[in-house]
Copies of this chain bind each other. A is one copy, B any other.
Amino acid sequence: MTSQTEFSLRQRNRGFHLITDEIVAHLPQLPEFGLLHLFLKHTSAALTINENADPDVQTDMTKIFDRLVKEHEPYFEHTLEGDDDMPAHAKSTIVGVSLTIPITNGRLNLGTWQGIYLCEFRTRGSNRRIVATIIG
């Protein structure tokens, strides 16, 4: 049994944002066992799973990624869409735009410390579209 829904996440600016509750609020009733697949329809943001407790993890993560792929590199040719655009594309490919999470006993089977993050890599982000597919 496959079900699918598509929705928008509210606008956020550059950063790693915990969105577990916002995602769960958009989902239909989950099957007893299966998989949830989340797919972000964009190329300058990403989805990941990381620590859901200390907000310092989120700010440090943003700093680490801003150093991993720096802006203003003299060799960039794709610069027309802003200094933050090409680094955002690279970070999106490093992190990835989709997640697959097991469903167990009708709930997402995340670890105790795991949460779902939207990684917004544009300085000023926009609404982001997600396709959620549930395989039961």
Contact = CB atoms under 8 A, between A and B. Distances in A.
Contacts of A119: 93
Contact of A133 (B34, B40, B69, B97): B34
Given A77-B60, A135-B135, A89 B42 contact: no
Contacts of A21: none
Interface residues of A, number: 63
Contacts of A60: 75-78, 86, 89-90
Interface of A: 2-4, 6, 31, 33-35, 37, 39-43, 48-51, 54, 56-57, 59-61, 63-65, 68-69, 73, 75-78, 80, 86, 89-90, 92-102, 104, 109-114, 117, 119, 129, 131, 133, 135-136
